[in-house]
Structure 1
Amino acid sequence: MTPSLPRPFPYAVTGAHTTLGPVITTEAWAKIAQVLDRRNPGEALDGSVITRLLGVEGKSWGPDRFATLDSVAETARAALDGAHLAPGDVTAVVVVTCNPYRILLDQDAFGLMRLLGIPDDVLPLQLGAGCAGLARAAALVAGLNTERALVIAYSVPNRISTGADGTLLPGYRDNAVHPYGRNMWAAPALFSDAAAAMVLERDDDIDGLVLYSRDSQSFGDEPGVDDPLIHFLGGGTDNPAGTPGSTDMACFGMNPPEITRYYSGGMMLNHQVLEAARPGYLDQISRVYAHQANPRLVEGFARKVGLTEQQAPSNVRQLGNTVSPSTLALLHADQVRGSLAYDARACFSVVGSGPERGAFITPIRIPALRAPAVP
């Protein structure tokens, strides 16, 4: 099977912004969420156990902050402002989320564009995507050949996994129906709330690269992958709302062995394909923004390719897995610190449920970075 190869990506990131929820410790979250301790009936897991199992020490937890699309729209507006663009300058919008506020007819995309005041003739694309959605969005932007794309990514797992008081909803607390029911609590414990946006502007003189693969036909030298990694089996025509068991099936369940295998293999395939297309590419970029799946996987990839903490920053231990916004959160943190020079090149490399993976190399031309960078 012919492997997926990089394509030209003549785009620069000219605006970026991220909004997080309040960051709390895993211990504080555990006291609120009340995860059942199956070894000690009637008791809840404490944060130290969750940290030992998942590696995360904190979470971005903002069900109130993300109660509506307004916070997501404000994030996108800040990215446009950072790029010195008005809503009327946008020529395409790509919305990336695995848990939309409204599940039918791309209503999140339509609602966001309405809130932002983007003209009605601008093309919206709404992607039901997880952790690798940013790579799919970049590949689609390149295929559209559009001038100025606004990419909006968000994930608000705590709004669909915890109740008004913060405790786990029944489907995540004690689920005997879902095939991953015994460990449903792990998804709300690991995944965190965040919204992010970036502006991609076309410049034909840019020699960037974009790579995208579903890996359904082949996975490197191995057969294709057919496990979605994250199993959300409710809704749709298979388990329509209101039918027996549909509520319990409408929960995110993780397949840890396949996630580990796919992340480790997928990140290395991203690296190998980019290295073959552009030998020594790691010496030509300032940052590798790798998807923040969990600390062990992120650190393992960095060790394999010889990346330092400065070259490949990480936030998953402190924030949890913020899904598609995770790499943009790393970029935004560098922007706020002033530690990235204007026109520096970055590589975004991501893998996720679907499964899918990809990467793109692009210059960062956010106007605020024109000031001298801090080492």
Structure 2
Amino acid sequence: MAKPPTIRIFGTGAHAPSRVLTNAELSAKIETSDEWIVTRSGIRERRVAGPEEGTSDMAAAAARAALADAGVAPSEIDLLILATITPDLSMPASACSVQHKLGLSPTTACFDISAACSGFVYGLDTAAAMLQSGRYKRALLIGSEKLSTIIDWSDRTTCVLFGDGAAAFVLGASDEPDDTAGLIDIKLGAYGDSLDLLYIPKGGSTHPPTAESIAAGDHFIKMKGKELFKLAVRAMAESARDILAKNGLTPDDISLIIPHQANLRIIEAVAKLLQIPLERFFVNVDRYGNTSAASIPIAIDEARRSGRIRSGDVTLLVAFGAGLTYGSALLRW
């Protein structure tokens, strides 16, 4: 059986709303403080999209930047996957809106994927498999979230944590049979018995919206922070160890770890468990907060453009999200 082609990242791009919401501004609206927020999360500010900027708008902006970085024309894209838990509408998929905004061909396959903060890693595995099938040549994988629309801004335990943003990859199979750069491996999983650690209580088919549920704020994110922290740290550390062992690698072989940017304390705990210095983790949660499926690709784009990722480097991605989903990936640049 022929070895499947290596899937390469040909370009990356990101977009952040212009509105910066600082801890000081939040402190003027709710009972909190910069010190309280920074101590518990490491977050100092986050971006918030205005009413005129939807998830698909941010996704399209990030995609344009990734296409320009890759030197790929929109007409070359035949697969578009959008990872998001905040689509423009519950139906149709926001990927179709992005297709229209980018002027992609009507023959482009378009769909959304929902795995919360692990969404981009899940999407990366999905895109890779579809590209390796040979039925698709170039893919746009996008993570885009407007979490400001599903947050209770009076709840200080959640509203201080989240932000809006988007980032994208242009992916394709390598033309060189012995190419070593690109996706090395991916590991995915989920703890489906932990649904209530991070969820939105009402709004789905089992609990459709009612006037009472909307008034009660049951359509906003709810979180059990302490329990979520413990399981997230365990899932990320175990997933990282497993994918390294499977590929015969040690932490010393990894140039940079790019974790989901949910909370600095989680990242610190994972670093301690893996016995890897925090300096080898890329961290930008202080400036963006938790942007869910956009978190890892925003960090990758920043790391590339700041020189933290260089040709030949091996990076480890590791994520967790509501579900409780988790995933890790190894990339060689």
TM-score (norm 1): 0.78
Label 1:339 to 1:56 Cα distance change in 2 as closer, same or farther (>3 A): closer
- 1:326 alignment partner in structure 2: 295
Counterpart-to-counterpart distance in 1, 2:124 and 2:50: 28
SS at match of 2:11: strand
Match of 2:276 among 270, 285, 307: 307
Partner of 2:162: 191
Match of 2:24 in 1: 27
Q: 1:103 to 1:58 in 2, by over 3 A?
A: same
Q: Aligned letter for 1:28?
A: E
Corresponding residue number in structure 2 for 1:60: 47
Matched position secondary structure for 1:102: coil
2:83 equivalent to 1:115:
no
Aligned to 1:12: 8
Counterpart of 1:231 (choices 193, 196, 199) is: 199
TM-score between both structures, scaled by the size of structure 2? 0.87
Q: Is there any run of 5+ residues in structure 1 with no aligned partner, and where?
A: 1-7, 36-43, 162-170, 174-183, 217-224, 365-375
Distance 2:51 2:199 in 1: 26
**Is 1:129–2:115 an aligned residue pair?**
yes
Q: Distance in 1 between matches of 2:52 and 2:270?
A: 33
Number of the residue aligned with 2:229: 260
Matched-pair contact (CA < 8 Å) for 1:55–1:295:
yes
User: How much does 1:154 deviate?
Assistant: 1.1
Q: For 1:236 and 1:9, how far apart are their aligned partners in 2?
A: 39
2:185 is matched with which residue: 209, 234, 241? 209
Name the SS of the counterpart of 1:325 in structure 2. helix
After superposing the two structures, state which structure 1 stretch, 46-55 or 71-80, moved more: 46-55
CA shift in 2, pair 1:155/1:116, >3 Å: same
Which residue of 58, 62, 65 maps to 1:71? 58
Instruction: Supply the AA of the counterpart residue of 2:80.
Output: V
Contact 1:230 1:253 in 2 (8 A): yes
Q: Report if aligned partners of 1:172, 1:251 keep a CA contact under 8 Å in 2.
A: no
Partner residue of 2:139 out of 143, 149, 152 = 149
Q: Quote how far apart the aligned CAs of 1:280 are.
A: 2.6
Q: Which moved more, 1:85-94 or 1:14-23?
A: 14-23
Letter in 2 for 1:12: R
CA distance in 2, matches of 1:284, 1:83: 27
CA contact (8 A) 2:54 2:88 kept: no
Q: Check if 1:92 corresponds to 2:79.
A: yes
Task: Please give the secondary structure, in 2, of the residue aligned with 1:16.
Answer: strand
User: What SS does the aligned partner of 1:244 have?
Assistant: helix
Q: Secondary structure at the match of 1:233?
A: coil
Give the secondary structure class of the aligned counterpart of 2:298.
Answer: helix
Q: Distance in 2 between matches of 1:9 and 1:296?
A: 38
Letter in 2 for 1:268: A
8 A contact 1:92–1:150 mirrored in 2: yes
Secondary structure at 1:56's aligned position in 2?
Answer: coil
Alpha-carbon distance in 2 for matches of 1:358, 1:306: 19
Counterpart of 2:260 in structure 1 is 291
Report the aligned-residue RMSD: 2.4
Identity %: 21
Report the CA distance shift for 1:206/1:249 in structure 2 as closer, same or farther (over 3 A).
Answer: farther
Preserved contact between residue 67 and residue 159 of structure 1 (Cα < 8 Å): no
Report which of the two structures shows the higher radius of gyration computed on alpha carbons: 1
